[in-house]
Every structure is written in C-alpha cells, then in structure tokens.
Structure 1
Amino acid sequence: MTRTDPGRTVLIADSDFGDVDIERAIVEGAGLRLVAAQCKSEDEVIEAGREAGGVLTQYVRVGSRAIDALPHCRVIARYGTGVDIVDVDAATRRGIQVTNAPNDWCADEVADHAVALWLAAARKICRYDRATRRGAWHWKTGRPVHRLRGQVLGILSFGAIARLVAERARAFGVEVWAHDPFVDESEIRACQVRPVSFDDLVEGADHVVVQAPLTPQTHHTFDRATLRRMKPTAVLVNTARGPIVEDAALYQALTEGWIAGAALDDIEEEPAKQRDWQPSNPLLELPNVIVTPHAAYYSEEAVGTVRTIAAEEAVRVLTGEPARYPVNEPTRDSRSHGG
C-alpha cells in the first residue's frame, strides 16, 4: 500500500495557522499523506476530501452531506473543543470517529482574555486610548467609570474555563455569581461562587461573562428580550461563540442605552468561516464595543498543542489505535472504508 492509496490521506480542510509544518511532521512521519486546503463550504470539503481517510477542521462545517460524500473517511479531528461544526450523529452512523481537544489546551488563555476584555470595557481602556491619540488628554473622556470592588460579575456556565474566570475575578473584589443548570449548586459554592438562576444572573449582575457552549438551545440567548432585562450600567463580555449573542439586538441595546457596553471575542457572523469577509457589522462602529478576532484561545503554546492533538488523533485512528479524545462512539460496522 502506498502513501497515495485512498484512505491514507489526511486533509486539513481549513486552518489559519499560516503553515502546516506541525501536522506534516506528524502525518508524514506515520507514513501517511498530508493535503492542505482552505475550504469555506461543505462543497469545497467534498471536492478536497474525496481521497481522505482523515479530515482536520478548524472553522469549516463538515455536515451530513459532506460526511456522506467522503467514502474513505474514518476520522474527523476538530482543531479545538467545540464540535458544533461537525455533524457528530451523521459521523457516528457512518462509522467515523470524531475527536476534539480537551478544554485545558487553552483554558488559561481564554480565562485571561475574558478578564482582559472585562477590565478593558469596565475601565474604558480602548476609549481612553482612542481619545488620547486624538489629542484629548483628560480622564473625562472615559466617563463614567465605576469602582469594581463590591460589584457583581455573573458568569453564564460553570465549566473549566468559567471556573478560571471566577478565580481571577475574585482578586478584584467583585462578588461572583454563576448560572449553570448542569452543575450542582454545592459544586459552584465550593468555588466561592454564588449559584443563581438565569433570570437573577441577567437582571442582577453588573458584568456578565458568557462562557457557554453554542447549541441550538443557547443560540441567541442574548436577544432583545434578554438584553432589555440587564442593568443599564451592565457590561456584556462574550468569550464563547458569536451566535450566542444576537448582534442586531446588541446593537440596539448599546445605541439605545439598555446596557453600557460590550466586549466580544467573536461576532454572530463568525468572519473566520467566510471568504473575503468585510467589516460591515455596525457593532464595529460603536465606541462602547470592543471586538477581538476570536483570539481568546491564542497563545503560541496553545496553538502548538491543539495542532499536535488534532494531527495525532487522525494518525492514531488511521493506524488502528483508539482515539485519546473521542467525541463519539462510531458504529464500526456501519460502512466499509477504503484504504
């Protein structure tokens, strides 16, 4: 069997890392072939992946249509933790192993970024910077700024990253609340955090940090109805997925004074998934919004880790070893694979 036999190819469906050196060393070191693409649609995944036994994906969706059209595919490895871009049920039915990276690959980075966005928004850092560059040297350009000590920081979800956010935030003297229906209240209290209902979180927190996964149930959690219930002095921080916040609703909330500010690590349209994206989102024009380009996970160390995990998972499955970080339990007999 040669390196180019069907099923012995690993496709990088998309990535924005700038090179494929890490993946190439791992894949070719195992005697497999690596092909890199920059797919932005399922059609492009299908076209690029016809010979692929493994697919690595960062942003592009690998849905049921693509899965059904990849006859040799045995593993789909996500660069990251969330797998909402992969139709896991379809993969399971087709006998395809789906893998991801465990939360800790970037947990510290995301927690640091969430706190940095929160502080930058609360202390009006970006507004002061812009005013100073325009020649306005005065503390009033950021007015009003309120003392953090004694305020309430609410966190939506209480997984590994949210717990690190809480740990960091307490150092600033805020009271930390959290809502997570999947975590026992005693576990939340053990972290010196007050468990609250979603209603209490939205209506009572001075700052809300969103760290929930994107699911059909969390899509547009922060819509007009939710944003209207927040304090007019509140700041919304989203270091989770963009579509959890409805951008049009947030724009209205910020321009009409329903809330005071927002700091976002992604926007609803998720630019990284688009080809030739243009910055036309009206949120980008508002002075009380901070936006970073889905960079919360980033450090050189984290990127190296997640690339290594994804490539190694693909190689493990294609060489007959079990995945270290499986998302599903595929039905092995549901299809015959090439290679």
Structure 2
Amino acid sequence: MPTFYVSDEIHTDVLAELQTLGLVHLGYGPDAVRYDDVRDDIDAVLLRAERFDREKIDASPRLRIIARHGVGTDNVDIDAATDADIWVTTTPGSNSRAVAEHVFALLLSLARRVPYGTAQTTSGQWAAAKPHMNGFELHGRTLGLLGFGNIARMVATIAQGFGMHVLVHDPFVQDSAIQAAGAAPATVDEVIAGSDVLSLHMPLTEQTAQIIDADALARMKPGSVLINTSRGGLIDEPALAQSLQNGQLGGAGLDVLEGESVDMKDPIAHSKIQIADVPNLIVTPHVAGQSKEAFLAAGTGALQAIRQALAGQRPEHAVNTITACAPA
C-alpha cells in the first residue's frame, strides 16, 4: 500500500479519494507532520506551497512523484527530481479562469476604492468617505498585458466585455494570434507606457526578473494601475512602494510577493517593504487561483498524475523526463 504526503490543504473530495488509495500524512491541520519525519516511507507528494529542494528530494528513497497542485514549479528542484527519477507534474488550466477573474477583483477594488470605502464606512465615516470615492470606470481604458498565455487571454476577453482596449506583448505568440483575440500586439515599452492598467502574466526567469523596475514604473501613465497575479519577483517592490507613495502610480494589486522565493508560507516576514504603510496597495495571499472550482480541478489533476505514476505510466502534464518507470 503506498504512502502519501499532502503539504497543504486540498479539496475534501480529493483528500477522501487519496485516502482510499493508501496511508496519507498531512503537512497541515491539528495532526500535521513534518515531511522529514515521514520521508523514508513516502511514495508520492501532493504539493502546494512547501519547498522541495535537492536535499529533501535526495533524502526520499521511495518517492516516485511530486504532483504540484497548480501550474508553477518554483518550489521544486526539477533537476534534482529528474536525477532521482522522480516525476514532477503540474495541473495546467485548472485555475486559469479563477486567476483571470481575480485580476478584476483587484482591479475593480482599486478603481472604485472599495477597501477605503469599506474601512471608512465600518468606522462610522459614511458621509466623510463619499467625497473621496470618485473612482474610475474601465470602459474606454487601455489594458496592457505582458504575457499572453491561457490566463492572459481570459483576462483580455473579460476586459473587452468592459469595453477596454487591450495591448499585448508576448515574444512567443504571433501577432496574428493576438489580433485574432481582439487585441493589439505591441512592444514591451509600448505596453508599459500606453496602458491605464498593466497586468503581468509571465514566468519568472532571468530575463523577466524585476521587469517592472523603477525605470518602467516611471514610464507608466501617471495614475495608472499595476496588477500582478503571476510571480512576485517580476516587480522591484521598493520601487513600487515609492511610486505609490509619490503618486506616480494610482494603485497596485498584488497576489504574489517577492518574499515567496524565500518562504512561500510567510513571505511578508521577508518583504522589502512595509505593506501596511503603502497607499493604494491591495495584497492578497497568493489565492488568485483558489476558487472552489479551481481547487477541485487542481486537486483532481494532481491525484490523476499520482495514480498514473504509481502505475508505472508517464503521468499527464509531466514537466520532466525520467529513466525509471516501473509500477510501485
């Protein structure tokens, strides 16, 4: 009977099904166990936020698969997993719509000053708050997208429903495909300088790290809004804070922080800015893809990959290739 480790909370239906397949150790909740305490027995990991580096992987003699609950692999040493003949999988598309909708949850909250209005009203300042609640409409504004994968395409569709114009830069997508989606292809500089709202949808690489730095922020339209539901390292956070404090930027909505590269479970402790002191900044705790529907889809996809790997098959959506492929 195989033994499983689940790093963080998953959908109850997925957990119940996993428990029918073998023994499950949970890395969360009142009976949480540390992975290092059970690693000798683990055949498969269903992974969310916990970091799996080479040391942890090399110390896992039975481990066959690390099934990511989501699309990112920033917290997994893929080379180490490949060297150890351990599959790494993701669940692409499982949370695309949830993330796309969260972009607009952040954007509309900033555009209509929802957090300010709520705070003032709940503190008894109903009348005093009203003169400061003149936000802006999305209709007729320009949305810029850096990256044009599945999520960004859904964002573009939603934006067009609001009557927004859409500019797109993605070096891996042909201009004809961007135009077919009703958007206009543009250079990075044109997107940054020409957008009322700039939304980031790209992976974190050496080329994209801090692509939104002090210079890029200075080139954005005065009063414009920045949204990031992708990876925290895409933005120079101290420069962003300064841009918000001096009024160059009208607002920012972040679902990801740079500190997640140090500690995905407590990035605020490693933040280079004091979030509470930055005006017009909304931060959510990396939950853009965490709708009920997406939660179930991601868990189901990860569970399917585990079933396939333990049956000696190549799991769907594997991000690496291994040499050993025998049933557990």
Q: TM-score, normalised by structure 1?
A: 0.86
How well do the aligned residues superpose, as a CA RMSD in angstroms? 2.6
Shift of 1:278: 5.8
1:300 is aligned with what amino acid? K
Note the residue ranges of structure 2 that are not aligned, 5 or more in a row: none
Shift of 1:15: 0.6
Q: Separation in 2 of the partners of 1:130 and 1:25?
A: 40
Counterparts in 2 of 1:234-249, with a 5 A limit? 234-249=224-239
1:33 is aligned with what amino acid? L
Specify whether residues 74 and 279 from structure 1 end up closer, same or farther in structure 2 by C-alpha distance, changes over 3 A only.
closer
Shift of 1:306: 1.3
Specify whether residues 228 and 70 from structure 1 end up closer, same or farther in structure 2 by C-alpha distance, changes over 3 A only.
same
Note the residue ranges of structure 1 that are not aligned, 5 or more in a row: none
Counterpart of 1:159 in structure 2 is: 149
2:8 is aligned with what amino acid? S
Q: Separation in 2 of the partners of 1:77 and 1:279?
A: 27
Shift of 1:93: 2.3
Give 1:112's match in structure 2, choosing from 101, 111, 121.
Answer: 101
CA contact (8 A) 1:237 1:263 kept: yes
Partner-residue secondary structure (3-state), 2:43: strand
Counterpart of 2:204 in structure 1 is: 214
CA contact (8 A) 1:10 1:314 kept: no
Q: Aligned pair 1:329/2:318, yes or no?
A: no
Counterpart of 2:80 in structure 1 is: 90
Counterpart of 1:174 in structure 2 is: 164
CA contact (8 A) 2:99 2:229 kept: yes
CA contact (8 A) 2:259 2:267 kept: no
Counterpart of 2:90 in structure 1 is: 100
Greater Cα offset, 297-306 or 151-160? 297-306
Q: Separation in 1 of the partners of 2:109 and 2:258?
A: 21
CA contact (8 A) 2:259 2:270 kept: no
Greater Cα offset, 249-258 or 264-273? 264-273
CA contact (8 A) 1:262 1:289 kept: yes
Give 1:16's match in structure 2, choosing from 6, 9, 13.
Answer: 9
User: Percent same amino acid among aligned pairs?
Assistant: 34
Larger RCO: 1 or 2 (CA < 8 Å, sep 6+): 1
Shift of 1:136: 4.0
2:52 is aligned with what amino acid? V
Q: Aligned pair 1:202/2:192, yes or no?
A: yes
Q: Aligned pair 1:296/2:282, yes or no?
A: no
Give the aligned length: 320
Q: Separation in 2 of the partners of 1:148 and 1:99?
A: 38
Partner-residue secondary structure (3-state), 1:212: coil
Counterpart of 1:121 in structure 2 is: 110
Shift of 1:147: 4.1
Q: Separation in 2 of the partners of 1:74 and 1:301?
A: 28
Q: 1:211-240 deviations in whole A, cap 9, x for unaligned?
A: 222333322222222212212211001111
Shift of 1:338: 11
Q: Aligned pair 1:311/2:303, yes or no?
A: yes
Q: 1:241-289 deviations in whole A, cap 9, x for unaligned?
A: 2222222121111112221110111222239723596698512333311
2:120 is aligned with what amino acid? A
Specify whether residues 264 and 181 from structure 1 end up closer, same or farther in structure 2 by C-alpha distance, changes over 3 A only.
same
Q: 1:279-308 deviations in whole A, cap 9, x for unaligned?
A: 985123333111222121122121122122
